[in-house]
Amino acid sequence: MQELISDLPNWIDILLKGLIQTLQMVIPSTIFAYIMGLPLGILITITKPDGIKSKPVFNSILGWVINMMRSIPFIILLVALIPTTKQVMGTSIGTKSMIFPLFIGLSPFVARMVETSLEEVDAGLIEASRAMGTTTLQLVTKVIIPEAIPSLIRGFSISMITIIGYSALAGTVGGGGLGDIAIMYGYRRYQTNVMIYTIVILVLVVQIIQSTFNLIARKIDKRNK
Amino acid sequence: MIRIENISKMYNTKDGNVIALKNVNVTIQDGEIFGLIGMSGAGKSTFLRSVGLLNQPTSGKIYVDDIDIYSLNAKDKLNFHRNISIIFQGYQLLMQRTVKENIQLPLELANTNKKEMKEQVQRMIKLVQLEGKENAYPSQLSGGQKQRVAIARALVTNPKILLCDEPTSALDSLTTKAILTLLKQINQQYNVTILIITHEIAAVKEICEKVAVIDQAQIVETGFVREVFKNPKTEITKLLLGKGSEK
């Protein structure tokens, strides 16, 4: 225990660098995953057989694609994507290049998260809005999304935390970050204390993200004022 | 005038076909307050949704001012929706919008300019007596206040017809009276035709001129409220009136 604390200063620089790398992977890929996943989530919700723009065939194809992508374990997707990553990002190693596979891996997850949030909007409210004369676009932008915002924000934090887990895997194939440090020093070199440091940092990061977004969601939600 | 001509509605469910409406004929004159009364599951909601252009009947036609409403194209349907508003038992307000923003929504959907929007919303808030609550959220309001917001939202586009789906069933008797009084005032002040569907005989007695009784997907009795309730011809009307023979 004493060693755990006394040895920490020697690792601060490495850990800090790892944390920054992790965030450099996580933040952009979460944003990109939402740029892709949000419209996908909206599409899969509204095209359901009982949705506001029912397109059952399209819906089942889209659902199938999303499920297929989600069923590939991320580590395998990561390796399989290496050639594509090289083409898209210019290189397949380094922190930045990992944004692409993380984005691909998380987008279908985000689509499902968004779907779950949008489904929470009361069907009665949607019907009432239709009775006011809404186009599909208006229904989505003026009613469904604004009403689902608190839930979407909670979903955002879950997605971000999931991507932190994915980023640890990305670290092992040259992405760097905290996951890489944990594996390199903690696993390969039996430096258990380093492993513990990274775990503590990751736990803190996850806690901070979760409570920040929960707080935002609670502040924004007008349902229980 | 609303003419409902011989409409039927069938649903395909796992347990086979369910008939929600069967050869229903109703005519509602302009400026009338018309009540449709029946037990739960009798077909009331399906009827209201059909008239509100939300649920196309399997057969039959609905004419509003001699226009077959289900034959309208998409654009005309949008305009039609602005001429016929609905209020619901569950209010169906947007929980993340203030009172003012809720009332404003139908105008936003119609791309009304900001100045006119503000004036109209103010006028409505006054009409439903919610002054001072403009910036409150629905979760901060009582049931009666929520229904007032819903009424204001329904009327903000100056519709000719107001459909009410069990508007007072979730309210206590005093609030019910106040809401019904408000509906009557709206009917007289703006000459809005009102169709109320309900299972509460009191609500019909209070404000309707004409009533139709629906039972098992069919209209079994129709006429002026006083006459129908004075001499109920069917068992179901007697039952609704509380004069039914106990089995």
The string of pLDDT tens digits covering residues A152-172 is 999 999 999 999 999 988 887
| Chain segment B131-184, per-residue pLDDT in tens | 999 999 999 999 999 999 999 999 999 999 999 999 998 899 899 999 999 999
For residue B63, the domain's CATH number is 3.40.50.300
Domain presence at residue A64: yes
Q: How many CB pairs below 8 A link A and B?
A: 73
Q: In chain A, whose CA is at the least distance from the CA of B74?
A: A135
**Is residue A148 included in any domain, yes or no?**
yes
Residue B32 in any domain: the answer is yes
Could you tell me if residue A192 is inside a domain? yes
By Cβ distance, the residue of A124, A134, A147 closest to B95 is: A147
Structural domain contains residue B213: yes
- Structural domain includes residue A90: yes
The reported pLDDT for the residue numbered B41 is 85
| Mean pLDDT, chain B, integer | 93
Q: Tell me which residue in B52, B88, B108 faces A142 most closely, judged by beta carbons.
A: B108
In a domain, A225, yes or no: no
Does residue B115 sit within a domain? no
DSSP string, chain A: -HHHHHTHHHHHHHHHHHHHHHHHHHHHHHHHHHHHHHHHHHHHHHTSTTSTT--HHHHHHHHHHHHHHHHS-HHHHHHHTHHHHHHHHS-SSSTGGGHHHHHHHHHHHHHHHHHHHHHTS-HHHHHHHHTT---HHHIIIIIIHHHHHHHHHHHHHHHHHHHHHHHHHHIIIII-SHHHHIIIIIIIS--HHHHHHHHHHHHHHHHHHHHHHHHHHHHH--TT-
Q: How confident is the model at residue B247 (pLDDT cuts 50, 70, 90)?
A: very low
Residue among A128, A150, A222 whose CB faces B88 most closely: A128
- For the cut 90, the answer to whether the pLDDT of residue A17 exceeds it is yes
Where is mean pLDDT largest: A181-190, B13-22, B216-225, B237-246?
Answer: B216-225
The answer to whether residue B144 is domain-embedded is no
Q: How many domains are there within chain B?
A: 1
Buried b (16+ CB within 10 A) or exposed e, A107-124: bbbbbbbbbbbbeebeee
Cross-chain residue pair A146–B97, CB shorter than 8 Å? yes
Examine residue A36 and state whether it is found in any structural domain, yes or no.
yes
Find tokens 């929600």 and name the residue: B20
* Cβ <8 Å between A132 and B82: yes
Q: Which of A222, A224, A225 to mutate to test the interface with B (most CBs of B within 10 A)?
A: A222
Where residue A23 sits, what CATH number does that domain have? 1.10.3720.10
Asked if residue B145 is part of any domain, the answer here is no
* Strand pairing class (B16-28; B2-13): antiparallel
- Confirm if A37 and A109 have CB atoms less than 8 A apart: yes
Please tell me the distance in Å from A136's CA to the nearest CA on chain B.
11
pLDDT of the residue at A58: 97
Chain A residues closer than 8 Å to B139 by CB: 222-225
SS (H, E, C) B37-83: ECCCCCCHHHHHHHHCCCCCCCEEEEEECCEEHHHCCHHHHHHHHHH
From chain B, pick out residues whose CB is under 8 angstroms from the CB of A225: 137, 139-140
Q: What angle do CA A146, A40, A112 make, to 5 degrees?
A: 80
Compute the nearest-CA separation of B8 from chain A (Å): 21
Q: Would you say residue B42 lies in a domain?
A: yes
Domain hosting B14: range is 2-93+162-241
Are the C-beta atoms of residues A100 and A89 closer than 8 Å to each other?
yes
Residue B136 to residue B41: CA distance in whole angstroms: 35
Residues of chain B found within 8 Å of residue A127, distances taken between Cβ atoms: 49, 54, 92
B101 located within any domain = no
* Cβ contact B137–A222 (<8 Å): yes
Domain assignment of residue B28, yes or no: yes
Query: What is the domain count for chain A?
Result: 1
Please tell me the predicted confidence (pLDDT) of residue B246: 46
Nearest to B88 among A124, A133, A134 (CB): A124
Interface of A with B in 112-151 (CB under 8 A): 122, 124-125, 127-135, 138, 142-143, 146-147, 149-150
- Chain A hits for B90, Cβ within 8 Å: 124
A81 is in which domain, residue-wise?
Answer: 2-220
